[in-house]
């Protein structure tokens, strides 16, 4: 039976990522209803990720001062409001406003949660608990896309966001019941001190390169799962919103694989496992060039699993080497990570317009190759000790 503390950690990830990428199943509907192009409706994804990038380091610095648990719980409850208000939007611009507000509330959840895990669990358990957290995040990301797609087909995209708001509220009540209080948290002496500590992270080459790795991870994720929606909505596939929501069932493969990351790292070492995951990721992205829908889905499933493994390794490495101001270090990581996500929603648009899906595939594989070089250069091959 799952430890209730770990269940609460998984639900924190679920609550945050339930909302983050819901527009990906709805992009063709937004295009039809608002008469907007691919790049314009993709802003419904990047508006939230951009807001995350803006607020993440400050959320981390503030959490280092006032405590992490209270920030996590407050943000989850407040997030219900803009989610419900999306259902009232009459224009694409109004959707972008509420999506931006959703994004502002997400770093106090997941950026702070990673630091909370790094602080409250023994070092030997951090990677495995992060695996549980990442699995919950993967499940939340999948359910958000799936529910929005299916609900949109039956009650419209506005009704879909009301359903998502209700689910968020119920999950928040469970989190507040089971997320344990902090035992090891020591507050910074002042916010200015926390900000100075955050600045020192920017002088650490290992931390800086790990930030860049985070950028590449989410760039690849968002580029793949945003533009594959356009690809599969076009002939010969012509998938509906529900069908597009169903393709995100591949996230469940990440849910299954990610909790094993800690054990695999103990056996192989962090760097070797990361390079192997990136290599498989490149192959899986290339597999999406197949004409067969089952092969495309298989490629997306492998890509999702590799992405979650790399994200778990990256966050675990950062939580280990950032010995002071851990929340602010994770906050900066999340900023760069979601700048990568915003870039992944926007930069592939010219490649998709000019070359279609193959143009996106080539771009993504190039980014993954750079990420592999960064991992080989900076990350150690050590295995964590108790």
The DSSP secondary structure of 291-349, one letter per residue, reads: S-HHHHHHHHHHHHHHHHHHHHHHHHHHHHH--SSHHHHHHHHHHHHHHHHHHHHHTHH
131-135, 150-154, 252-256: which range is least confident on average? 252-256
Contact between residue 7 and residue 127 where contact means Cβ atoms under 8 Å apart: no
pLDDT digits (tens, 9 = 90+) for 204-252: 778 888 889 999 999 998 899 889 988 998 889 888 878 887 887 877 7
Q: Could you state, in order of their start, the residue ranges of all structural domains in the chain?
A: 4-178+190-378
Segment 36-59 shows an average pLDDT of 83
Segment 100-119 shows an average pLDDT of 85
Q: For residue 281, what pLDDT is reported?
A: 96
Segment 34-43 shows an average pLDDT of 83
Confidence of residue 187 (pLDDT cuts 50, 70, 90): low
Nearest of 20, 14, 17, 1 to residue 171 by alpha carbon: 14
Confidence of residue 193 (pLDDT cuts 50, 70, 90): low
Contact between residue 121 and residue 68 where contact means Cβ atoms under 8 Å apart: no
pLDDT digits (tens, 9 = 90+) for 86-106: 999 989 999 999 999 999 999
Q: Per-residue pLDDT for 303 more than 90?
A: yes
> Rounded to an integer, what distance in angstroms lies between the CA atom of residue 136 and that of residue 151?
22
Specify the DSSP class assigned to residue 182.
Answer: P
CATH superfamily, domain 4-178+190-378, is MFS general substrate transporter like domains (1.20.1250.20)
Contact between residue 133 and residue 117 where contact means Cβ atoms under 8 Å apart: yes
Q: For residue 213, what pLDDT is reported?
A: 93
Q: For residue 266, what pLDDT is reported?
A: 77
Confidence of residue 325 (pLDDT cuts 50, 70, 90): low
The DSSP secondary structure of 183-211, one letter per residue, reads: SS----S-HHHHHHHHHHHTT-HHHHHHH
Residue 270's SS3 state is helix
Q: Per-residue pLDDT for 385 more than 50?
A: no
């Amino acid at each position: 039976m799952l430890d209730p503390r770990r269940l609460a950690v998984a639900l924190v990830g679920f609550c945050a990522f339930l909302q983050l990428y819901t527009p990906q199943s709805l992009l063709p509907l937004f295009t039809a209803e608002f008469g907007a192009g691919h790049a314009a409706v993709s802003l419904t994804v990047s508006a939230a990720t951009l807001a995350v990038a803006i607020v993440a380091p400050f959320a981390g610095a503030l959490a280092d001062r006032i405590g992490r648990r209270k920030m996590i719980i407050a943000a989850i409850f407040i997030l219900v409001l803009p989610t419900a208000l999306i259902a009232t939007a009459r224009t694409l611009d109004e959707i972008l406003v509420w999506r931006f507000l959703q994004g502002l509330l997400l770093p106090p959840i997941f950026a702070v949660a990673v630091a909370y895990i790094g602080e409250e669990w023994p070092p030997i358990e951090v990677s495995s608990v992060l695996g549980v957290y990442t699995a919950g995040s993967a499940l939340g990301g999948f359910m958000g896309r799936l529910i929005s797609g299916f609900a949109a087909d039956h009650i419209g995209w506005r009704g879909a966001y009301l359903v998502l708001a209700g689910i968020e509220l119920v999950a928040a009540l469970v989190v507040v019941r089971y997320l344990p209080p902090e035992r090891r948290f020591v507050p910074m002496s002042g916010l200015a001190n926390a900000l100075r500590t955050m600045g020192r992270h920017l002088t650490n080459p290992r931390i800086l390169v790990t930030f860049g790795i985070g950028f590449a991870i989410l760039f690849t994720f968002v580029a793949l799962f945003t533009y594959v929606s356009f690809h599969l909505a076009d002939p010969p596939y012509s998938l509906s919103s529900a069908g597009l929501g169903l393709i995100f069932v591949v996230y469940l493969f990440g849910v299954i694989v990610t909790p094993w990351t800690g054990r695999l790292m103990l056996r192989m070492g962090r760097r070797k496992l990361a390079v192997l995951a990136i290599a498989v990721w490149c192959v899986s992205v290339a597999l999406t060039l197949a004409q067969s829908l089952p092969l495309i889905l298989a490629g997306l499933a492998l890509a999702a699993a590799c992405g979650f493994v790399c994200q778990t390794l990256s966050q675990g490495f950062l939580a280990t080497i950032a010995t002071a101001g851990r929340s602010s270090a994770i906050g900066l990581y999340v900023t760069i990570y979601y700048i990568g996500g915003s870039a992944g929603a926007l930069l592939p648009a010219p490649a998709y317009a000019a070359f279609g899906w193959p143009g996106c595939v080539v771009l993504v594989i190039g980014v993954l190759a750079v990420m592999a070089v960064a991992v080989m250069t900076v990350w150690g091959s050590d295995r964590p000790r108790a």
